[in-house]
Amino acid sequence: MKRNKQWDVRGAVGFAAFFHFLYSCARGCLLPFLTIYFRHLGLTAVMTGTIMAVKHVVALVWTPLSCILARRHNKRRMVITGSLICSAAVALVLLLFPPTGKSTESRSCNISQLNAVHELSSTTLKPKTTLQKFSTPVLFSTEHKMTPTEEYNNTEYIPTTPVRISELHNNQSTTVNTANNQSDWKESLEIKTFQMPSPDNRSRSLTKREQKQQEINKMQYEFLGSLKVMDTQHQMFFLVMIIIILWEILAAPLTWTADDGLHEYLDFVDATERHRAVKPWRLLGTAGGMGCSGILVSLLYCLIGTVLHFYTYSLLMVLAMPLAALLPLYRHKREHVPGAGLKALHLVRGDSQALLCAVTAVLAGMAGSAVSDFLLWQMQDHNATELQMGITLAVVPLCQAAFAPLNECLTRLLKSHGRLLPLGIMGLSLQCLSYSFMWTPWTVLPSQVLSGISIGALWWSLEAQSVDIASPGTELAVKRVFEALYQDLGAGLGSVAGGFVVQKFGIKILFQGTAAMLGVWCISLAVLQWRIPRQRRINYSRLLAADASEMSESESEQDNDWLEKAMEEDKGNNNWRRLD
């Protein structure tokens, strides 16, 4: 006889929680500090907001598609492992880009630390002392022109006006590039003319090929010419955007794919209620990553710099790979609901209260994205260190994790979860308003505590709404609709809008405008909830769960009814016989 397979539900949930804790810790080490690194590279607020918006849009489109493909082809474990490896490698590519010389960050080191760094660099690096010779003329602009006879000599060149090092380096690099391009172009023309046969022996096919090749070369020269016209800052912008898109394509499938495998595993053993135990560990991992990375970078800033965020992220992603090989994943073929995402969208659209929650999720996502993208910029303007940034950022997920055990108490106290939704929006509005009046970095801590409680209340209300409207098999899909609206759609809109507002008006105006928007929606939401009648929907999952317990009672009642009828009929027959 075959032995029954034992399912260790508690161990599986604990192992999955540890994996998500480590993965969230890796994301917390880098993702909240990306905008600071973009500022270090010299990108403007509009460029930073556009890059972050593109990142959210890619996640909005690619995450559900990759999750469906991974389940259909039964390649979940391969997708998770490949996502860990590739995203850790692609993140390090951003370190290859040097700053454009237009960085606006301000950071100073102690004199002792600078001396230590100078001694270390003097022993390892040997700067070049000879000057290069440039013999080819370069036209830098229409105002400053160089004659063909002007050349640089091997002797020292002392400019009469002060020259910036970054501008001199950029001018020299453009001179070298144009010289190399012209020499390569001449060599290619010489090779072509040398290899070109006589017109008499040339066939028609060769003539067509040469014409196509000339057209291709002309297009390439036009493209290279447009790149030369583009300045260094815009070149950096497009390169960083390409890397971020590739990075998000590789990293986006991991969370949903791991969640689907664990949910189907727990659904097979009738323990889906334990799936919610993973979320607090994600929040704790995110808080730990933010705080620890901020402390490490603050201690080693003058030796390593902000690149420690990238190294820590890659190291933790590599450490999570052995855990991915042991994750509890299960593919339940029979009970999978096809098109669960479309059904979830239909359920949200068909309920008026759910539509209010969806609009609230989008607006809250916009506010959260604006805060997360440019809060550190404002703290940096107030001379905040990485230690202060990491601790203030870690307070928010810690408060959310502390709010999770209060869900059951709130369910008992509040008859309707909709009452907590305007309170959460009001808390976020006060948080954004307090950011605009920052005078020291540590004054952000009370606002961060309020933010964590408000976001926790908001998510509790959204999850309760998803449970109310979900049909059997669509509970997780409805919850993910609100997650996508908050984390991807709303965050993308908030990033691009926040970048333009910061570029034109400043960070304070961004926070004040966000607070005003949330305040107006808080009042509108309260009025709409009062005006719109709340529909009582049947929770089919609870109804099916209660059928098993009520089945025995109903069967016993039917048996009693049948016995009573039989006794009454027997009694009537006996009385009829006595009358006879």
Identity at 364, one-letter amino acid code: A
> Among candidates 415, 495, 425, which has minimal Cα distance to 459?
425
Q: Is residue 352 part of a domain?
A: yes
Q: Are 431 and 489 part of one and the same domain? A: yes
Query: Last residue of some domain: 277, 294, 329?
Result: 329
Q: Are 376 and 505 part of one and the same domain? A: yes
Start-end of H helices in 75-164:
76-91, 111-124
Query: Last residue of some domain: 304, 329, 354?
Result: 329
pLDDT at 272: 81
Q: Are 352 and 314 part of one and the same domain? A: no
Domain holding 43, by residue range, is 7-100+228-329
Q: Are 324 and 350 part of one and the same domain? A: no
Range of lowest pLDDT (65-74, 158-167, 368-377, 550-559): 158-167
Identity at 519, one-letter amino acid code: G
Q: How far apart are CA 469 and CA 345, in angstroms?
A: 11
Question: How many CB atoms neighbour CB 259 within 10 A?
Answer: 17
Q: Which residues, 6 or more positions from 103, have their beta carbon under 8 angstroms from its beta carbon?
A: 39, 40, 41, 42
DSSP assigned state of 403 = H
Q: Is residue 43 part of a domain?
A: yes
Q: Tell me: pLDDT of 462 over 50.
A: yes
Q: Are 458 and 407 part of one and the same domain? A: yes
Q: Is residue 25 part of a domain?
A: yes
Q: Is residue 128 part of a domain?
A: no
Q: Is residue 240 part of a domain?
A: yes
Q: What is the 3-state secondary structure (H, E, C) of 460-528?
A: HHHHHHHHHHCCCCCHHHHHHHHHHHHHHHHHHHHHHHHHHHHHHCCHHHHHHHHHHHHHHHHHHHHHH
Q: How far apart are CA 38 and CA 54, in angstroms?
A: 14
Q: Is residue 346 part of a domain?
A: yes
For residue 225, give Cα distances in angstroms to 170, 185, 190, 213, 230.
17, 13, 21, 18, 9
* Residue 494 pLDDT level (bands cut at 50, 70, 90): very high
Q: State the CATH number of the domain containing residue 236.
A: 1.20.1250
Q: State the CATH number of the domain containing residue 529.
A: 1.20.1250.20
Q: Are 439 and 344 part of one and the same domain? A: yes
> Among candidates 29, 1, 15, which has minimal Cα distance to 314?
29
Residue-averaged pLDDT of the chain? 76
Q: How far apart are CA 290 and CA 297, in angstroms?
A: 11
Q: Which residues, 6 or more positions from 371, have their beta carbon under 8 angstroms from its beta carbon?
A: 431, 432, 435, 451, 511, 514
User: pLDDT tens for residues 261-308?
Assistant: 888 888 887 778 888 889 999 999 999 999 999 999 988 888 887 889
Q: Are 304 and 448 part of one and the same domain? A: no
**pLDDT cut 70: percent of the chain above it:** 65
User: pLDDT tens for residues 510-530?
Assistant: 999 999 999 999 999 999 988
Question: How many CB atoms neighbour CB 408 within 10 A?
Answer: 9
Q: Are 510 and 413 part of one and the same domain? A: yes
pLDDT at 216: 62
> Among candidates 353, 400, 370, which has minimal Cα distance to 517?
370
Average pLDDT on 145-156 reads 39
Q: Are 366 and 317 part of one and the same domain? A: no
Q: Is residue 373 part of a domain?
A: yes
Q: Are 293 and 344 part of one and the same domain? A: no
Average pLDDT on 326-350 reads 77
Q: Are 266 and 377 part of one and the same domain? A: no
Distance of CA 99 to the CA centre of its chain: 24
Q: Tell me: pLDDT of 200 over 60.
A: no
User: pLDDT tens for residues 357-398?
Assistant: 999 999 999 999 999 999 999 999 998 999 999 999 999 999
480 burial via Cβ count (<10 Å: 0-12, 13-18, 19+): buried
Q: Is residue 452 part of a domain?
A: yes
> Among candidates 480, 83, 319, which has minimal Cα distance to 75?
83
pLDDT at 565: 62
Q: What is the number of structural domains in the chain?
A: 2
Q: Are 266 and 364 part of one and the same domain? A: no
pLDDT at 21: 96
Q: How far apart are CA 306 and CA 111, in angstroms?
A: 19
- Enter the pTM of the model: 0.73
Q: Tell me: pLDDT of 124 over 50.
A: no
Query: Last residue of some domain: 497, 518, 536?
Result: 536
